Amino acid sequence: MPSSPPPSLQRNSRERQLIAQEAARLVAESGIHDLEHARRKAAIKLGITSEALWPRLSEIEQALREHQLLFAASSQPGALRLHRESALQAMQFLHAFQPRLTGAVLSGLADSNSPVILHLHCDDADAVQRFLHEQRIPAESRAWPLRLAGHASKQHFPGCEFAADGIAFELVVLPEDALRQPPVSADDGKPLPRATLAQLRQLLALEA
């Protein structure tokens, strides 16, 4: 008969699962949308300080899917659809900045409180703010830490956030080189999933 995993491995697996479940709960119930932040907050709450015992972001995403199936199966799909349709409109509006959709709205984990996260590409970091000002859209300036492919560490990229029709938008302005060297995951260094306007249209068509 196959032997059981050593107690230390069983304990490590259980700790990873506990952090993933608590992080998922924080995202679903506490208004935290950054999975890295949710993971760290969950680990601190549970007193698990060794990052070697923390789950990968993909494990937290899976735990969040399970949480939504249990507690939001009737409301989450509609909220996701609304957010994707709003993302489509925003990407059409911002087409000059070569937008890419990322985050929970793309992955399918968005709920009614999730922001639409768009990566815009322009070497003039102030161009997006000027454009929004010309269109009389009030927006708050902000910066986001991201690591681009080919870079050893994170950098802070400017952008802005605003709300329209009750949906929050986060616009991160990246250099045009980021189209070829996109932001990468903090876990494995692979490019973050991102979608073009055409890809989002296809996704919505499949859901129709």
Q: Give pLDDT tens digits for 6-64.
A: 555 566 889 999 999 999 999 999 989 999 999 999 999 999 999 999 999 999 999 99
Give whole-number Cα distances, 90 to 23, 81, 102, 153, in Å: 29, 14, 13, 30
More confident residue, 43 or 187: 43
pTM for this model (two decimals): 0.91
208, HSE (Cβ side, Cα atoms, 13 Å): 8
pLDDT digits (tens, 9 = 90+) for 116-164: 999 999 999 899 999 999 999 999 999 999 999 999 999 999 999 999 9
pLDDT of residue 11: 62
Q: What share of the chain is helix, strand, coil (3-state, %, to 5)?
A: 50, 20, 30
Q: Where are the beta strands (DSSP E) in 149-192?
A: 155-164, 167-174, 183-184
Compute how many other C-beta atoms are within 10 angstroms of the C-beta atom of residue 188. 9
Residue 93 pLDDT > 60: yes
| Residues 161-188, mean pLDDT to the nearest whole number | 95
Output the pLDDT for position 62. Answer: 97
Beta bridge mates, 161: 140, 170
Task: Calculate mean pLDDT across residues 59-82.
Answer: 96
Residue 5, pLDDT above cutoff 90:
no
pLDDT band at 208 (very low <50, low <70, confident <90, very high): confident
Q: What is the DSSP letter of 195?
A: B
Which distant-in-sequence residues (6+ apart) come within 8 Å of 102 by Cβ? 117, 118, 119, 183, 192, 193, 194, 195
The reported pLDDT for the residue numbered 17 is 95
pLDDT score for 149: 95
pLDDT at residue number 6? 55
Beta bridge partners of 83: none
Per-residue model confidence (pLDDT) at position 157: 98
Q: How far apart (Å, rounded) are the C-alpha atoms in residues 188 and 139?
A: 33
Where are the extended beta strands (E) located within 48-135? 100-102, 116-121
Question: Hey, which bits of the chain come out as E strands?
Answer: 100-102, 116-121, 140-148, 155-164, 167-174, 183-184
Residue 44: the pLDDT is 97
Question: What's the confidence (pLDDT) of residue 138?
Answer: 96
